[in-house]
Structure 1
Amino acid sequence: MRTSIFLESKKGTVIIQAAELLYITVDTTKDHSLCFVTKQEKHYCTGDLNDFDDTNRNWLFRCHRSFIVNLLTIKEINKYERRVYFLDDQSENNCPFSRRKYVPLKESLKDFLLTEQQA
Structure 2
Amino acid sequence: MTWGVAVLDALREVDPLEARGLVGSGAAVLLDVREDDEWAAGHAPEAVHLALSAADFTWLTGDQLLVVVCRSGRRSASAVERLRAAGRTACNLRGGMQAWARAGLPVTCTGGRPGTVI
Structure with the greater alpha carbon radius of gyration? 1
TM-score when normalising by structure 2: 0.32
TM-score when normalising by structure 1: 0.31
Higher-helix-fraction structure: 2
